[in-house]
Structure 1
Amino acid sequence: MSDAQQTAQSVLEKIEDNWAWFLILGIALLLGGLVLIAAPYATSVAVTLLIAAVLVVGGAIQIYQAFKGKNGSSFFWSLITGIIALIGGIVIYTNPLAGTFALTLVIAAVFIAQGISQLLLAFKMKPHTGWTWIALAGAISLVAGVMIWLELPSSAAWALGLIAGISVMFNGWSYIAIALAARAMKKA
């Protein structure tokens, strides 16, 4: 048995031994996701403040690293990137509603771009199995992005919170599925 197979087997055994904890975590994440979806505005602002904090800390670290390294052109770009992240984080933190709007605009643009690229990829793959799933994912991303874009500025109040809630809910479902599969394997 190779090292990778031994590692995979070890992970599976740990999951089987702790399936109940995975189930509890999954249920907690599922319920947490529902709470996030139920309060999308508060969740959107919280997500915005978290991103602001990450930008401030990340920007400060990047500025520090730029001065620590001082490697010619990489110094300049690291310094500029760090300053932009730091200032952006401070601006978002001082005005989270504007930050929420800006992040919602970025999310809409990313969904639209991702949807278009997935649709193009799907049509390039058309004769191969699975192309329809890529096309469906692309269409969903494109429609979601356009819906968020067309609803601006009001979508800023719900889009980030809804996306965060759905993400947490799906993580919860994945842990529940893992726990139930591990429980079934343990019984077998």
Structure 2
Amino acid sequence: MKNWALWLCVGIISLIGGLLALFNPLSASIAATTLAGWALLFVGALQGWSAWKSAGFKARTGAGIAAAASLLMGLVLLFGPFGDGTFLRYALTALLIISGAAKLWAARHIRGDDLHLVVLGAGGVSVLLGLVVLTGFPGFLAGSLGAILGLELMANGAALVVLSLRRRKVAPLA
């Protein structure tokens, strides 16, 4: 990606959205879900725009997959679960695992960097959250959609901030 500042802004927005979702996961689950849904839509749209502007197939593909996952997760959250909530559970599981896989893919490309482990950890957190939603274990976390979304937004934000700072380091000044 040529514009590292855009990724930095998206990462900071994602971190803020995650913190806001974590501050109130139980007492205002609907508000946290709505907030996280809008934050995911906004982050996904910016990631999609960033993917469109990216040079190179690998960068475009990784950012595009992450953007699609964020957009779909945001739409599912805003329009609510369909039926008995099983669809939401499976969709959220799939999207969290896809988002984690995209982060793990991005981590492959910065293996020698000092901050490689942050992006790798963010991908692992997303995959782990997907498995938590799928299995329902542990019960206190699986029942709190706001906490799961807050953690996913924070993992997404951490990965984007690290990737943007890494990109800034190697990008020529214009």
Q: Which has the larger radius of gyration?
A: 1
TM-score w.r.t. the length of structure 1 is 0.37
What is the TM-score when the length of structure 2 is the normalising length?
A: 0.39
